Chain A
Amino acid sequence: MASISFEHVSKTYPDGTRVIDGLDLEVGDGELLVLVGPSGCGKSTVLRMLAGLEDLSGGEIRIDGRVVNDLLPQRRNLSMVFQNYALYPHLTVRGNLEFPLKMKGLSRTEIDRRVRETAAMLDLDALLDRRPKALSGGQRQRVAMGRAIAREADAFLMDEPLSNLDARLRVQIRTEIAALQARLGVTTIYVTHDQVEAMTLGQRVAVMRGGRLQQVAPPWEIYQRPSNSFVAGFIGTPGMNLVRAPLDSSNGGLCVRLGDVRLTLTAQALADQPGLADRTGEDVLIGIRPEDICLAEAGATSALTATVRTAESLGHETLLHLDSPLTTVAADAPRRVPHGEPPALIAALRGHHPSRPGDAVRLQLDPADLYFFALDGEAIR
């Protein structure tokens, strides 16, 4: 078990591309931290630098306080689960589990004990004499986990370990990984591009974008208090709607004008985000979670009118992609006013709402559910 820390870590490729830019991150002993971000954000590079598979261009990586920058991967005592599992194809499952133990020079009895324990833990007993080729995707995944566990390494590094599995298996193994990690209490860094995995697995979630850390916080806080519009848009399915709108004063308070609707901000919102008051009269970005939009009750006096662009029914909810009078912007480029068609306003309505393109809907919003960002995307606090 070990704590891990990244201090001002950066990585620049020989052609000058900066893939990691001044990363500062602490992972506590026994913690499960999920590193999440879109592809190409540098999250795998962070993991590979920690493993020793890539050099650093600057900064320090410490394991239990000891700088490991110049240690070979062999000497870091970390175990890694690869996206394609990287099982040794010529070895049986038993051979795969034994390999790192043999490399460590453990005694035969100790190797047998650990293989037996690991196999029992992951239900691999029946597979021990098979080769990887003869296993299903889920079984291979478990063998890769087993190889990492049998090592009794200081930390587990997992690089998108579930991305090659089908959706159902992914949910099942996700739960198993969380349970296993909690039981073993091994420091784990888990890299994924899937925000659902991040939210369900992580004790803390670190969101990355373009080589920079955007926010590190427990899942609920990431959802509830995203530090910028990128995090807000990345976490949640579908992502948060962002609307550019002016912040006006009204009767000593503040209100936003969304099309014809004026929403007066709650006292709670003003208390939580004192920065709002300084921006009176300015345009800001209003974040609206699709799940916070609901259909206006019949007879409601103020409602937002929109037309359905497309409708997707998922059974338990209906996603409406809407054309609205609002100035919607993209979450990853809030400053750019898009050419052509603006992003649709998305509403996630509970239950089944049959609608066809062109249908007019009246929507209702609760001012307590709004998120506020400056035009550069930073959250207003």
Chain B
Amino acid sequence: MSAPNARRRLNDQTAVGLLLAGPAMLGLFLFILAPFLVALALAFTNLRLGSPLPLEFVGVKQFERIFTDPDFLRALSNNLLFASTVVPLQTALALGLALLLNRGLRGTVVFRTLFFMPVVFPMSLVAVVWVLIYAPGPEGMMNGFLDLVTLGAWEPRDFLRDPMLAMPALMLLSIWQGAGFQMVILLAGLQQIPEELYEAAALDGAGRWSQFRHVTLPQLRNSLVFVVLVTSILAFRLFDQVQIMTRGGPDGATTTVIYEAVQAVFTRQQVARASAMTVVFFLLVLALTWLQRRLARQEREIG
């Protein structure tokens, strides 16, 4: 008797639910889904603003083009290099900070605020400040610091215009800026681990390292997967720092997929080509998200 009733009730509520969710769904459609679909469609055309050629469907030609374009391939490999360096380093740093803050020592709140502060600053502001830090010549802050710690052995370098140093310079700034965010998430994860598990492990003979390895890491698994995923996506989205500090240079050393896409559409009006690049970017993000769903199983319940 209750089953058909329940179904009807559910249907009634579904209608109201859709109505209430309507505005938000409309917004999502207008600003997320529709532009994406347009970009997807444009990626298979030859659209270029101001071009005398008629708009036509060109199949996967744009994709063939970008995948044979050395600049785009450079951008892709830069993104991979950036992600594969920044993600592990930043995660390790954030985990270290979170572990320190989780020990419940005095001043924790102060340090937590300090570590989190860079996250709150807009990247454009942070980038400008770091341009000053990386200023060439001995009066530059970074040069001065390295001179100090190497007891004068450091030769002043122009970090942002040195093909070998420009990318590491961006990485350092990004790690500094992003670690606080990860730290807060990992700290929340750490605080959810029941104290009893550590006590049980201690009685079972597990030392500090074993407790970290067999209690902390498995319990933190989902937080870590989430943090790594978000950082990876952010790493592939790398743009602000590049735009403000290096403009992709020197000699393509810091160019990225998004930077290339922006260049293509806003300086060369190659709408279709830029669309193809963003589709590639979308597929990368999709793959990462899928990976996270595979890795983050729901095993948080305490037995």
Contact = CB atoms under 8 A, between A and B. Distances in A.
Interface of A: 51-53, 72-74, 76, 78-80, 82, 84-91, 99-100, 103-104, 131-133, 135, 140, 143, 147, 151
A87 B196 CA distance: 9
Contact of B299 (A72, A80, A87, A131): A131
A296 to B, nearest CB: 54
Given A88-B215, A100-B204, A103-B206, A73 B199 contact: yes
Given A132-B303, A133-B299, A82 B206 contact: no
Contacts of B199: 51, 53, 73, 80, 82, 86
A84 B299 contact: no
Interface in B38-64: none
Given A99-B214, A135-B303, A88 B197 contact: yes
Contacts, number: 83
B107 interface: no
Given A74-B206, A86-B196, 7 more contacts: A53-B199, A76-B203, A78-B203, A82-B200, A89-B302, A90-B299, A147-B204
Contacts of B221: 90
B205 A85 contact: no
Contact of B303 (A88, A100, A103, A151): A88
B299 A89 contact: yes
Contact of B197 (A73, A86, A103): A86
A73 B197 CA distance: 13
Nearest to A73: B202
A239 B210 CA distance: 48
Contact of A52 (B202, B206, B215): B202
A74 B211 CA distance: 11
Nearest to B210: A103
Given A88-B197, A90-B218, A80 B203 contact: yes
Contact of A90 (B194, B202, B203, B219): B219
Interface in B178-219: 194, 196-197, 199-207, 210, 214-215, 218-219
Contacts of A135: 303
A104 B299 contact: no
A319 B203 CA distance: 45
B293 interface: no
B200 A151 contact: no
